[in-house]
Structure 1
Amino acid sequence: MFGSRNVSRSQNESFTRKRRDAKGKTSFREHPVSKNRAARSIRKPPGEDAASPANTLTSSIITLVVGREQRLFAAHEDVLCHSPFFQAACRGQFMEATNKRVSLPDEEPEIFSSVLEYLYKGDYYPRLLLNKRKNTWELETGEGGSSVESTVFHHGVDGELLKDTVIYCTAEKYGLEELKKVALRKQGLQSGIQCSTILSSARYAYANTPDTDNKLRAHYLALIIRSRSTFRRSGTMQMEMQAGGSQLFFDLFVALCNHVDDVASVAASPRSIRTHH
């Protein structure tokens, strides 16, 4: 039912791959997720919310033709219709009436597969798992305990993007608010992401969310500021800022980072500052 390659410019431009529990300035992490907050953010499978789950799994089958390669997916109509986008599609706005097909040529099959998995199961791979010892949530690992690939190749940008960012933006388009929460939470648990991937994903986020979005956009702004020591040394960041207009933008960014560092240093030792006066 359900249906990834950037080269780093230097080791200084990448976030060091450390153990997931390590805390460093350059790690791509947020604060631990509490059990209750995560539990509230994960959507129940549609079948559990429906008045009659049996009807959901016996409704008409819709064929979805996804991406440039026209990958075929199949899903129950009632499951798809938890999304306002697909409600409209299944009512004939986008669907071929004769064979119940919906064409999604601009979507990435890997991303759509995750969205479909969420609609059926309330989560997508890698799932959020509860660490009972720490009472926090973590991402499940792959075979042999290896980490699961966090990026996906996107034809629209001809490069790698953070998978959870693309899923968030897809959920925005499909009107799946709870899926947005799950994707944002999972992205906050990722680590070892290169600067270039973060910047390209941030551009994608801004291009595919409304100006009113105060979740994913704010996440990227906070991430870059929190990891400013890495981004300040980043040649990729410098090129990004220069491409925006002139060297002024990158100089302004460095000045802001230096100012924030100075303020933080003063705030950390107020007594020593007063003794000098």
Structure 2
Amino acid sequence: MASEFTEDVPSEEQPAAPTADVEMAEGAEGEEGGDNANNSELPYAEGGDVEPRTSFISYLTSPVVTMIVGSGGNETILTAHQALLAQSPYFAEACAAFSDDGSPRQIELASDETDSVGCFLEYLYTGDYFPKKLPGQRVLETDPALPSVDESGDQLLNHARVYTLAEKFGVEKLKSLATSKIHCVNSTAKGEIAYARYVYAYTNKDDTSIRAPVANFWATRSHTLRAEAEEEFRALCLEYPQFGYDVLTRVLDEKLKRESQSRLHPAPGSGRKRPRHSQI
């Protein structure tokens, strides 16, 4: 919105001459301004201090941390620079226990999957992970190794696992990124059921950012998609009653919304009429 300017209207009364106290106050402000200039403080910076930019080389010169991912003989060893890992509250706490006596800097991630941790590390180093979203489009990069339609739900599950890992590690921006990629996957009813089962198994019931879209999807499409995977849909509802309840709640809410709108804006001739009696 454009700012409105008003011109000063001359007044017949002349303002009183500034007192010494005012002059002292103005002088003090001027001195503060000089100090701020010397301290390179910006007037719009909260607290007066501007944090210096952290160079990428400083991340790369930090100690290397070893991560053992997986368990039961399927462990994978990954490494990353400590300064990058410490951006995560989870790893910052773990790295705080390391000493500088030359002992190994090692973290065990027994319950996590290698591919998901790999996506997490790729995000730390590059700010994104494969496949990336195409600029200005709701489409992901093409991976020749993957089918164009996610029939099994594997592609959805890949991003869902990145989401839950970002939740565990406390990286909110990665959670948002994973969610945005989930909505770019072209899947089938069975793929969506596999994804819904994972979401309701591994996310908190109060996490509406990922659960609500799942329930909304099935509430608006279950009448058409159920025929493609009716047994799987039924099994999912029985296995996770909260899923069935969330879907049913949205179906009923939408029904009430339509009824409310029809009462406010009744269609012509929609009123109830007395039945006609046939005359013989």
TM-score normalised by structure 1 residue count = 0.63
**What is the CA deviation profile of residues 236-273 of structure 1, one whole-angstrom value per residue up to 9, with x for unaligned ones?**
1112223457xxx69x96898599579769969x9883
Counterpart among 218, 238, 241 of residue 237 in structure 2:
241
Q: 1:64, 1:103 within 8 Å by CA — same for their partners in 2?
A: yes
Does the residue aligned with 2:108 lie in a helix, a strand or coil?
A: strand
Name the structure 1 match of 2:180: 185
Question: Identity percentage over the alignment?
Answer: 26
Q: State how 1:128-167 maps to structure 2 within 5 Å.
A: 128-130=133-135, 135-143=136-144, 147=148, 162-167=157-162
Pick one of 91, 97, 115 that aligns with 1:92.
97
Determine if the alignment matches structure 1 residue 173 to structure 2 residue 168. yes
2:160 alignment partner AA: T
Aligned 8 A contact 1:152 1:161 in 2: yes
Contact 2:69/2:114, CA 8 A, preserved across alignment: yes
3-state SS of 1:128 partner: coil
The alignment of Structure 1 onto Structure 2 pairs a total of residues equal to 211
CA displacement, residues 201-226 of structure 1 (integer Å, 9 cap, x when unaligned): 33432343334422011121112112
Q: CA deviation at 1:128?
A: 1.3
* Contact 2:140–2:184 (Cα < 8 Å) also in 1: yes
8 Å Cα contact 1:81/1:87 also seen in 2? yes
CA contact (8 A) 1:62 1:101 kept: yes
1:161 CA drift (Å): 6.2
Could you list the runs of 5+ residues in structure 1 that have no partner in the other structure? 1-48, 154-159
Distance 1:174 1:115, change over 3 A: same
Q: CA RMSD in A?
A: 3.7
TM-score normalised per structure 2: 0.62
After TM superposition, the runs of 4+ consecutive aligned structure 1 residues lying more than 6 A away are 148-153, 252-256, 265-268
Larger radius of gyration: 2
* Corresponding residue SS for 2:131: coil
Taking a change above 3 Å as real, the CA distance of residues 223 and 165 of structure 1, as seen in their structure-2 partners, is same
Aligned-partner Cα distance in 2 for 1:255–1:137: 29
- Distance in 2 separating the partners of 1:51 and 1:244: 46
User: Aligned pair in 2 of structure 1 residues 84, 256: CA closer, same or farther (>3 Å)?
Assistant: closer
Residue 15 of structure 1 corresponds to none
Counterparts in 2 of 1:232 and 1:81: CA distance versus 1, 3 Å: same
Please give the per-residue CA displacement for 1:4-42, whole angstroms capped at 9, x wherever unaligned. Answer: xxxxxxxxxxxxxxxxxxxxxxxxxxxxxxxxxxxxxxx
Check the 8 A contact 1:111/1:163 in 2, yes or no: yes
Q: Equivalent residue for 1:51?
A: 54
